[in-house]
Amino acid sequence: MTSGRQDLDSIRQMVESVLRKSEERFRQVVESAPNAMVMSNSGGIIEMVNAQAERVFGYDRAEILGHPVEMLIPERFRHHHPGMRASFYASARSRPMGAGRDLYGIRKDGSEFPMEIGLNPIETDEGTKVLAAIVDISDRKQKEERIHAALKEKEILLGEVHHRVKNNLQIISSLLELQSAKVTDPIAFESLKDSQRRIRSMALIHQILYQSKDVGHVNFESFLDGLVPTLMSAYVTDAERVSLSVGAVDVRLPISAAIPCGLIVNELMSNALKHAFPGERRGEINVNFLHQADNRVALSVSDDGIGIPETLDIAQTETLGLQLVSLLTDQLGGILTIHRADPTCFLLEFPIER
Ligand SMILES: Nc1ncnc2c1ncn2[C@@H]1O[C@H](COP(=O)(O)OP(=O)(O)OP(=O)(O)O)[C@@H](O)[C@H]1O
Ligand SMILES: [Mg+2]
């Protein structure tokens, strides 16, 4: 009988010692964790903190144990806290706190710092407690802000560059204008005018780039809005005779695609205006730009004019316009499909990287 009792006693002692050891180990793990750990009860009273929590908040643990967790939160956020605690207890599971919101802690000296918090429910004999793992993210925030500032600066600089490129292109265009005034040969005169218009359409792209918020992409609708009136006034004396409609909803091109594409539109629209409606012929020109699947865009320029002369071999033109179009199509990695009449249509499809 006695030996039976002794056995029980020694088993109990063993169990207690194992429990003590495991509790001690848990305490050590929490104590030396790299995150600040704060355990509070359902009433929001702090029951345990680790060494890192003392460091992060600047308190000795004797100053916080037994106090409400709200003392670690800046005044302006305190009133939310009891409600948040209630909702955590309502469905207690591990989760990040305040997802999507910036959280702040307050140190003993009154200074604030941004933090991230993970909440974990801990089941104990005295009920469920909340163990909060807290990370001071001041460093990361500061780095993020520095990167943001640097990025902003780069964007401003890039805008500045586009502005200068545009001004330089405008100067070239003015030089050609001056030169054309001195030329008496009509063919030479027209060539200079064409070059001037090409350069102006490139300048327009840079203008749109520095005026837009996104200096890396060109909103093609804005580009066409700017291009159409200048081309119309260059080629059509009677605006009633030829109408032009543009559809380009929300097509944004990276700069690498925007310049060649802008030049192509310039050529194709100029051609339609110049060649499709000779004499008093009336009609319309349609420019359409749309996104296709798989990061491809399609640009079509069509007109209901006289059509491309049957004698013309499009692949072998001597003229610069269509040569430029085919060269720039290659540069875009695109495919050009031409429909010669009824309606005359140039369809350009090309890929863009997003
Ligand atoms: N939309 C169109 N309607 C009718 N003919 C066209 C059309 N587009 C092009 N063409 C014909 O194709 C020819 C070649 O066009 P291309 O743009 O290469 O030369 P261009 O316009 O005459 O001169 P430039 O080199 O100044 O552009 C034109 O001369 C014209 O005869
Ligand atoms: Mg042409």
Kindly tell me if the per-residue pLDDT of 1 is higher than 60.
no
What is the domain range of residue 18?
A: 1-26
Q: In the structure, which protein residues have their CB atom closer than 6 angstroms to any atom of ligand 1?
A: 194, 267, 271-272, 274-276, 303, 305-309, 312, 317, 319-322, 344
Q: For residue 240, how far is its CA from the centre of ligand 2 (angstroms)?
A: 22
Contact between residue 331 and residue 276 where contact means Cβ atoms under 8 Å apart = no
Over residues 105-129, mean pLDDT: 92
Residues 266 and 353 in one domain: yes
How far is residue 199's CA from residue 180's CA, in Å, rounded to a whole number?
Answer: 14
Which of the listed residues 187, 269, 271, 300 should we mutate to test ligand 1's pocket, taking the one with most ligand atoms within 8 A of CB?
271
Residues 185 and 261 in one domain: no
**By alpha-carbon position, which residue is closest to atom 8 of ligand 1?**
271
Sheet containing 242-248: order of strands: 242-248, 283-292, 296-303, 344-351, 335-339
Residues 128 and 183 in one domain: no
Q: For residue 248, how far is its CA from the centre of ligand 2 (angstroms)?
A: 22
Task: Look at residues 161, 193, 212 and tell me which one is the last residue of a structural domain.
Answer: 212
Count of structural domains within the chain: 4
Which of the listed residues 306, 319, 347 should we mutate to test ligand 1's pocket, taking the one with most ligand atoms within 8 A of CB?
319
Residues composing the chain: 354
Q: For residue 164, how far is its CA from the centre of ligand 2 (angstroms)?
A: 28
Kindly tell me if the per-residue pLDDT of 98 is higher than 70.
no
Over residues 214-242, mean pLDDT: 84
Kindly tell me if the per-residue pLDDT of 218 is higher than 90.
no
CATH number of the domain within which 92 lies: 3.30.450.20
Kindly tell me if the per-residue pLDDT of 101 is higher than 80.
no
Among residues 250, 247, 171, which one has the least CA distance to residue 214? Answer: 250
Q: For residue 221, how far is its CA from the centre of ligand 2 (angstroms)?
A: 22
Over residues 128-132, mean pLDDT: 92
Residue 73: CB partners within 8 Å, gap ≥ 6? 81, 104, 105, 106
Residues 316 and 270 in one domain: yes
Residue 118: CB partners within 8 Å, gap ≥ 6? 94, 95, 96, 97, 132, 133
pLDDT digit string, tens, across residues 52-70: 999 999 999 999 999 999 9
Residues 143 and 66 in one domain: no
**By alpha-carbon position, which residue is closest to atom 10 of ligand 1?**
308
Among residues 257, 342, 238, which one has the least CA distance to residue 299? Answer: 257
SS3 of residue 184 by DSSP = coil
CATH number of the domain within which 354 lies: 3.30.565.10
pLDDT digit string, tens, across residues 180-199: 999 999 999 999 998 998 89
**By alpha-carbon position, which residue is closest to atom 30 of ligand 1?**
275
Which of the listed residues 275, 285, 306, 327 should we mutate to test ligand 1's pocket, taking the one with most ligand atoms within 8 A of CB?
275
Residues 195 and 84 in one domain: no
The mean predicted confidence, pLDDT, of the chain is 90
Residue 269: CB partners within 8 Å, gap ≥ 6? 227, 228, 231, 244, 285, 287, 301
Kindly tell me if the per-residue pLDDT of 349 is higher than 80.
yes
Ligand closest to the CA atom of residue 275 = 1
Residues 8 and 60 in one domain: no
Confidence of residue 157 (pLDDT cuts 50, 70, 90): confident
Residues 252 and 348 in one domain: yes
Residues 109 and 53 in one domain: yes
